[in-house]
Structure 1
């Protein structure tokens, strides 16, 4: 699509009185501009240099090239912005880095470049840095590598004096990865683009670098706003890239903001995949996501230990262990109170078998139920099998016992009512005693004693029933099978140390 200049504006410019030579020159220039072909995003013979993200032709001094032979993206950015956002660029563009290693050869190359620059353009010359993405060998993490010794003029990225641009690397024999399709990250992207009919297998790398640079320049990253699963994958990949370039302080808040927009759906996803979101919350320095995931992880600990060991810093594991020990101590205190719980007679005496046999039976039933449900089951006594399981000639170790979590039992105690020790269970218990204890009136008195014990137990377990989740537990079908009373204090976040 071709646009045309404003004819009224052209007439106003001709109406200004000028010396004849200037007026005639302006008239000819207007005529030339009227018929000059305009720049097209789809190619053309005339390209107007831009000075906006991602290519700041007039002010940029750091050139970054990301190419894989099929596709190429170029950025011309500012050292000031990059060094403020990334420790990697702060070190790479420092004087210490420039004077180390190949400093001598760099000065010689710079002198050769300066010799080719006309004297009239010396004033426009300035220090430039150039980075290219090194894909490495199979399995290596792609990383930007600085091309040392390039002191370029402002025209280099689009031609002119200076060394010729490096050729893009050859096609890499890399197996294709799943992708939802090819898309551009910026509508006004003017860098060289090699289009293909299929999605590029390295599209995620291109996207992550573009998102990181967009965030550096205060543009929103292109992350999925609808599917929280796709948004998680994109945020995780972007955070790992930012971690490589020491830019988490800048990228993390953007990721945090994007994920928190999912609100209720985010809290449900954290409940399902709490170890994964704990890592995301730590990298993004997101207090809300980290605290939410921490409550789930501590409540189920040590169930998720294999997913977190060697995946998060030791400070995070130490925090989990400390919070788990705090809950364990609180549960021990609560259990002690529950086992010491008793009833009294109408005269205020403690119930014993001699002064109130039926109430004493109710206390015995409650304590027996509590002991059975808060104590791990004994290990089964089985004979050694004649042919133990083996793999590749090696005997397999016995399977570890399932993790015993008493959170569900304390939730039943906190619910009270018919959640446990209901009418049928009380009736079965009374049937085991002589007949005079199994009539309708006796059963009602026995159930009243059990109900009194339940009410006392509900008050005792209240400290364990506190919920520090943003998740609505009502949407989880009556609650989670573990405790959610872990509270993350402001001084607990491991990145504030």
Structure 2
């Protein structure tokens, strides 16, 4: 008979043979490790001398070196091909295999075929490809652009690319000796004292903001002064457009500007064409829509600032919205001219059945026709003459805009055809002018004003975020931007 050992007995035997002190010691050691405070390595550990592996220099994992230098200072980045290619079409093309292999004669480490012979077969380590870009400033009128340089490949994780030397000084005026130059710690290598301003500071800041956004860091944009923030955002968007990175940069710019809230809407009301261009580049629906309402309402006032400076689909959208508004205004004008009063028997007033009330209708129509028709061109020259010695042409008159008239009609009350105007008009017929007739005349004028106010309601709609209670605008803001109107691909 075959006997089998008792498994339970074996387990008990193992439990007895295990030294009890091992378990208790291990538990105490684990407890100590969990509760032991972090020891400082300052001056006492080699870890403090390890190179950093964080933005902007990823020493261990970075494979794309980017150097921005102008001879006075230098800013160096060591970033990742994967992230740059995902965020920028420029880098996606420049770091592609087709681009990288173009013109390469050998794939040996460090470009030296003899290095392969000295490495035993099967022991060849993974080669680490490195790319390098430097900012080419070009001539004075050129736009600085990153140019790819030939960088050596490395093995064993080392960096065989020699440190770059700053290019010679640019042909630009020397930097001023006053002011304050701000820089982030570990973000740049400076060759000038930190108390000097550099004429290329904007370029250094814009590139730093570009790469910061690529790595999901907030860009360094002015959070207080909206005018400065607009300029910084505009320059950053222009840089992102150069490197085909608007889809990544645009949302960051949109988020930063929207934080200004009410101040942003007021700025857009002051400079609608400028913010329309910015909103289009940033793909900001809120900024683009707000600026579009102002531009359409003032059109053609901003045509010179937009034509040739913005994409054709945007101009086409403006013209379509202007045509829609003109059609609506034309329909409402027809209804306004057809407004009339009726007698107590329900008949339309005429000179024969109620002369006084017919005069009230005539005064309203005359005022409406005069204010909705462009003034005739003057036959004689303007009496205004340019100052002596200045033979320049006089500025053209502002374009005729009926928005102000419709605003008055929508407001009603004493905003137009008030008491004094009614009194002067009625005095033109002395036989009918008296206190009772004036009161009845004014009541009938008020009645037709109320009808006009109801008629123009479609033009009184407001699609702005701007609070108009602080002050009205002299143009219409009833343009609505639908989701399918945005002229960019989602």
Given the two structures, how large is their TM-score scaled by the length of structure 2?
Answer: 0.85
Larger Rg, first or second structure (1 or 2): 2
> 1:390 Cα shift?
13
2:409 to 396, 408, 413: 413
Structure 2 unaligned segments of length 5 or more: list them.
1-27, 30-38
2:436 to 431, 441, 444: 441
Output aligned runs, 1:282-293, within 5 Å: 282-293=280-291
Output aligned runs, 1:65-464, within 5 Å: 65-100=67-102, 102-104=103-105, 110-112=110-112, 115=115, 119=119, 123=125, 125-148=127-150, 150-153=152-155, 162-175=160-173, 181-184=180-183, 186-189=184-187, 191-196=188-193, 197-382=195-380, 400-433=396-429, 435-464=430-459
- d(CA) in 2 for partners of 1:372 and 1:278? 33
The aligned length equals 449
Equivalent residue number for residue 57 of structure 2: 55
- d(CA) in 2 for partners of 1:180 and 1:278? 34
Structure 1 unaligned segments of length 5 or more: list them.
1-14, 17-29, 40-46
- d(CA) in 2 for partners of 1:214 and 1:358? 75
> 1:187 Cα shift?
3.5
- d(CA) in 1 for partners of 2:207 and 2:465? 33
- Go from structure 1 to structure 2 and tell me whether the alpha carbon gap of 1:165 and 1:430 turns closer, same or farther (over 3 Å shift): same
> 1:36 Cα shift?
5.9
SS in 2 for 1:144: strand
* 8 Å Cα contact 1:66/1:73 also seen in 2: yes
> 1:145 Cα shift?
0.5
Cα deviations across residues 261-320 of structure 1 (Å, max 9, x unaligned)?
Answer: 000000000000111111110011000000000000110011011111111101111111
Q: Runs of 4+ in structure 1 displaced over 4 angstroms?
A: 32-39, 106-110, 116-122, 153-157, 176-180, 387-392, 395-399
> 1:172 Cα shift?
1.1
1:487 to 474, 480, 484: 480
Cα deviations across residues 213-256 of structure 1 (Å, max 9, x unaligned)?
Answer: 11111110110111101111110010000000000000000000
Cα deviations across residues 405-430 of structure 1 (Å, max 9, x unaligned)?
Answer: 11111000000000000000000000
* 8 Å Cα contact 1:110/1:149 also seen in 2: no
CA RMSD of aligned residues (A): 3.0
> 1:400 Cα shift?
3.6
- Go from structure 1 to structure 2 and tell me whether the alpha carbon gap of 1:316 and 1:218 turns closer, same or farther (over 3 Å shift): same
2:467 to 464, 472, 476: 472
Equivalent residue number for residue 24 of structure 1: none
> 1:97 Cα shift?
1.4
Output aligned runs, 1:11-30, within 5 Å: none
> 1:446 Cα shift?
0.3
- d(CA) in 1 for partners of 2:439 and 2:275? 50
